[in-house]
Amino acid sequence: MLHAHRDRLPQCSVGVIQQILTGMEAECSLEQLERLVRQDPVLVYRLLALVNSSAYGLRHEIQSLRHALMMLGFTSLARWLREQQATADLSSGEAQAEADLRPVRYAMVMRSRLAQHLLESGAGDDLRAEVYLTALFAQLDRLLHKPLSGLIQKLPLSGRVFDAVLRAAGPYHPLLMVARVNTLAALCEHHEIGLEHANRSLLRMLATSRDYAGAPEPG
């Protein structure tokens, strides 16, 4: 599907945008809002690029999605989302492209959640969020059809993210590798990640996938 739609630049998912707007109208929590937004890799990328643009002139760069949502606020976020919704050309061809690429976006989200679960249970929320973004952006080039280095370097991400995504190194790289494969045993042994821990992480990810956007996931 990525090859079939290689000549089309993917827009933010109209379906995800509508879910977010509906959640905001229902006065969802910041945690739930974050879960809704990060269902779409394109939306997450554009949102982080937006808050770090010269238009905002912030003194400190924004690295996390939650911080970006807090800086924007619900009113500005809703306005921006409606702009994204309006600019998405949902002609029959574009609508079909979004439908075709939905499994690709979903797979990117599931791999990101698995990488997040591979962290030890005592890892803090900020660290888990950073691992999630690392895995979400790791294959962004395939979706946006642009060199990954150019895409990632536009964002103020930590050195750990750059190491994993661009240099195949650092503490997050093993998590990305394990999250991408179907056969875990050899790769877990190579990266010194317990196979039982990897399988339990996979089960936790799968157990919360159906209601991922609708309810808080267990710790």
The domain that holds 129 is classified in CATH as: 1.10.3210.10
Confidence label for 193 from pLDDT (cuts 50, 70 and 90): confident
Query: Comparing 172 with 57, which gets the higher pLDDT?
Result: 172
Look at residue 2 and tell me if it is in a domain. Answer: no
pLDDT at 172 > cutoff 70: yes
Strand, coil or helix: 83: helix
**Which structure tokens are listed for 31?**
């945690």
Residue 213 neighbours by CB distance under 10 Å? 16
DSSP 174: H
Mean per-residue pLDDT for 186-212? 71
Query: Comparing 210 with 39, which gets the higher pLDDT?
Result: 39
42-74: pLDDT as tens digits: 999 999 998 888 767 666 778 889 999 998 889
**Which structure tokens are listed for 57?**
């002139």
Print the domain residue range for 41.
Answer: 14-207
Look at residue 80 and tell me if it is in a domain. Answer: yes
* Residue 176 one-letter amino acid: L
Distance, in Å, from the CA atom of 39 to the CA atom of 50, rounded to the nearest integer, reads: 18
Residue 43's pLDDT is 94
pLDDT at 33 > cutoff 90: yes
Look at residue 213 and tell me if it is in a domain. Answer: no
**Which structure tokens are listed for 106?**
């979903």
**Which structure tokens are listed for 78?**
């809703």
- Regarding pTM above 0.75, the answer is yes
Look at residue 182 and tell me if it is in a domain. Answer: yes
Query: Comparing 79 with 177, which gets the higher pLDDT?
Result: 79
Distance, in Å, from the CA atom of 110 to the CA atom of 151, rounded to the nearest integer, reads: 21
Look at residue 5 and tell me if it is in a domain. Answer: no
pLDDT at 83 > cutoff 70: yes
Mean per-residue pLDDT of the chain:
82
Mean per-residue pLDDT for 184-202? 73
How many domains does the chain divide into? 1
128-168: pLDDT as tens digits: 999 999 999 998 888 888 899 999 988 888 999 999 999 99
